[in-house]
Chain A
């Protein structure tokens, strides 16, 4: 009975990780990835590893989505500039 919370956390991680792979658009993928980071931190807490959860929270909740979104924006801008220059 005490393992119910571990089972729930594992299920959440499995579902959100599958969704992060299945979603194709990078912007939406970064949103799923932010949620996956939070859920992973909950899983680490449930498994009694709060130090790992703390670093996962610090990296996964704000930093990874920021880097992804900045990369997407830069790639889009470069593609637009190339399209303007070529024709």
Chain B
């Protein structure tokens, strides 16, 4: 019996080894190293000295850090709830359709989601180009002038948010459609027989029953949008006047541009802790719901 048990353990070890070694090397060690570096004054490449909490204190006094925290929060506000509600709205429209028409419309809404971020930003830079962009006609109609949206501190962040919503909404849409399909049709039939209006149906049946999905989408969105970097970097590079500078970009700037590996890691730790906290809360939320 013992030899069988030993061979079992051996097989298990053989099977988990490739994953575990990779995990330890490119995942666990970097997590440890991120914390370790954040307490040193190391450059990007090379050793540094232990400086305790100096990096964190420096950050608290750094204006750009506070700006980045603020902007990241602003971006989250501009995207999370609107993106969730738009996803629900579109799902309510798409779910009424049938057959090939539904598939087609779904593809139209979903396609942006699978595009690489740089493709998305290139397309929108063209659409929003101040001189020749076709969307400038809309902007001109409402404001009376053509606006270089990514060079205007007032417009830059909302526009980045708009592009982000266009890009990522397909995913929310899918989750909502799955959720809506799980609501039994008899509920609506019964309500219709009692003479309920569309709005009453939505308020009394759809909204409460879809709420778990809504909560899931909200938290997934929150986690995703806190990690904003790519779109901002590609469309505004954090400008104008740092009005779109975000946390992950500060990591990039400190570590890779200014060669401050230590401070860059400290910002990374900050972001890491926020996201892990949100994730743990989400996990608890899902568990409570699962019961």
Partners in one complex: no
On A, residues with C-beta under 8 Å from B are none
Which residues of B approach A to under 8 Å, CB–CB?
none
